[in-house]
Chain A
Amino acid sequence: MNFLQMIIPLNITKTISDWISSIMPETAASYTIMVVIAVAYLALFAVAGLYLVLLERKVAAWFQLRIGPNRVGPWGLLQTMADALKLVSKELTSTIKIDKFLYNLAPYFVIVSALMAMAVFPFSKQFQAFDINIGVFFLIAISSIGVIGILLAGWSSNNKYALIGAMRSGLQTISYELSVGLSILTMVLLTGTLQLSEIVEAQRTGGWLILQGHIPSIIAFMIFMVAGTAETNRAPFDLVEAESELGAGFHTEYSGMKFAYFFLAEFINMFIISSIAVVLFFGGWLSPFGITENIAWFPEVIWFLIKVLGLIFLMMWFRWTFPRLRVDQLLTLEWKYLLPLNLMNLMLMAIIIWLNWTI
């Protein structure tokens, strides 16, 4: 199992994996390491989700000149933990006339596809669970599975608001997937590889890709952030769960932990979109100007997280600044503006690479 090398800086995981191999026979050790990695990613998933919810509430409060959650723990740090505990202890209710099997299955589609996408990200040079040679394409493939969960949730709830929400979501995700894919493709032209670790390595010498590809890169980044926000169903593209029209959209009928799965998946998807942007445009875990490149013990994962949090803040800024789009405006934006712009941008990038005008 050569792809299961997860060696964090400071070599904690290397030490752990050596220790496990030393006390067990080889096969048992490899299974144990797999389980440990899975548990580590699940923990990361839960913690990231919970603290992004808290961050969203704090940022929202800041934009609206409020204080935000401040009662549970210092600065309200334990608020979302308490919320999660409350959700776990809640009863899972459902209505009678639903399709039980699909109703129970739907949240897992959303959460599993988000978790699978997490596996391929290079958090730092050695902290990557699955360095697949088609990394970026794998991410696009996985993200196209997630929408099935939303469609199923809406349909099996047997509720007209949920169904309308699901239809809108399908419409939106299928349309904006094109823009996400094409803007990623523009950057792949520049790197010439789909493997995420190699994309990061390509930025070590030439500078971050957003500088290497200058004009088309910046256009691609803007389109990616707009389309990415739409993919995660967040405001200003949140007509999927528009509270004032649809109740809660596709997850109206869900309660307790199943509701929490949808809720967490939204925040994890935001994390995923920001991570793709960081890897493709901002040099992944590389430090700016190489300032920590020679410090061997410095955990590079910190740079990755700082950049990701910066982009997440940008997405939250969108949410609390722009009003919600109507469904026809949503489709006009994608099909009449973003898509033609994206195709032209792709050609521009090809010409720039052909003429060797990259920096």
Chain B
Amino acid sequence: MERIIFYILAAVIILFAVASVTSRKILRAVIYLLFVLIGIAGLYFLIDYNFLAAIQLTVYGGGIIVLFIFAVLLIHHVELELEKTALKKKLIAGLLSAAGLAVTLWAISTYPFPETGSAYTSVEVADIGKILLSYEDGGFILPFEVISVLLVAVMIGAIVIAKGKKLTENN
């Protein structure tokens, strides 16, 4: 049962990933990408990691994809199609993707995948929260704080860019 669901999800992810990069209508490409991301969320549900699946749905489905759709809505018309790429660009992109695939396959084939002895228990949200804010060994408080500082910087930067001249003229 799990195996069948896994293969269905894998097929969906691969098919829509290919469709996403080959589609010449930009919003369709975005929606195919959404299906890929939802498929990955499905994989997380399958391995009983519900929290990560919900994060995947909120951050990628509800956040990034909606942002993409907004960008497309503002700049693109429904009848426009993307132009065809030149052969040289195609070749370079193809080579780079093949290199990336080779690295990934090499990493997967050399990793030993050791069996864990202990029985699997599903991850509780409370544990994730405690580790995220712990400053002992294996805690994530430093990256957490660094990311918050980065986000504040990004927000201030966005406001400065969006306001442009108005900011200096009117103070």
> B25, B28, B62, B65: which has the most chain A beta carbons within 10 Å?
B62
Query: Among A101, A145, A166, A167, which residue has its beta carbon within 8 angstroms of that of B28?
Result: A101
From DSSP, what is the main secondary structure of chain A's interface residues?
helix
B125 contacts chain A at the CB level, 8 A cutoff: yes
CA of A169 to CA of B78, assembled, Å: 19
Q: Cβ of A151 and Cβ of B125 under 8 Å apart?
A: no
Q: Which residues of A contact B28 (CB under 8 A)?
A: 99, 101-102
A69 contacts chain B at the CB level, 8 A cutoff: no
CA of A192 to CA of B124, assembled, Å: 12
> B58, B70, B79: which has the most chain A beta carbons within 10 Å?
B58
Q: A151-B73, A163-B73 are in contact. Are A132 and B50 (CB under 8 A)?
A: yes
Q: Cβ of B57 and Cβ of A145 under 8 Å apart?
A: yes
Q: Which residues of B contact A237 (CB under 8 A)?
A: none
Q: Cβ of B122 and Cβ of A141 under 8 Å apart?
A: no
Q: Cβ of B50 and Cβ of A170 under 8 Å apart?
A: no
Q: Which residues of B contact A137 (CB under 8 A)?
A: 51, 54, 58, 125
Q: Cβ of A97 and Cβ of B61 under 8 Å apart?
A: no
B36 contacts chain A at the CB level, 8 A cutoff: no
From DSSP, what is the main secondary structure of chain B's interface residues?
helix
Q: Cβ of A99 and Cβ of B27 under 8 Å apart?
A: yes
CA of A167 to CA of B74, assembled, Å: 9
Q: A134-B125, A141-B57 are in contact. Are A155 and B66 (CB under 8 A)?
A: no
A338 contacts chain B at the CB level, 8 A cutoff: no
Q: A133-B50, A133-B122, A158-B79 are in contact. Are A174 and B27 (CB under 8 A)?
A: no
136-175 of chain A: CB within 8 A of chain B:
137-138, 140-142, 144-145, 147-148, 151-152, 154-156, 158, 163, 166-167, 170, 174
The size class of the interface chain B forms with chain A is 20 to 34
20-69 of chain A: CB within 8 A of chain B:
27
CA of A118 to CA of B34, assembled, Å: 22
B63 contacts chain A at the CB level, 8 A cutoff: yes
Tell me the A residues contacting B by CB distance below 8 Å.
27, 97-99, 101-102, 105, 132-134, 137-138, 140-142, 144-145, 147-148, 151-152, 154-156, 158, 163, 166-167, 170, 174, 177, 192, 194
Tell me the B residues contacting A by CB distance below 8 Å.
1, 25, 27-28, 31, 34, 38, 50-51, 54-55, 57-58, 61-63, 65-66, 69-70, 72-73, 78-79, 122, 124-126
Q: Please, could you name 21 A-B residue pairs with CB atoms under 8 Å apart, sorted by A?
A: A97-B78, A99-B25, A99-B27, A105-B31, A132-B50, A134-B50, A134-B51, A137-B58, A138-B54, A140-B58, A141-B61, A144-B63, A145-B38, A148-B66, A151-B66, A155-B27, A155-B72, A155-B73, A158-B78, A158-B79, A194-B125
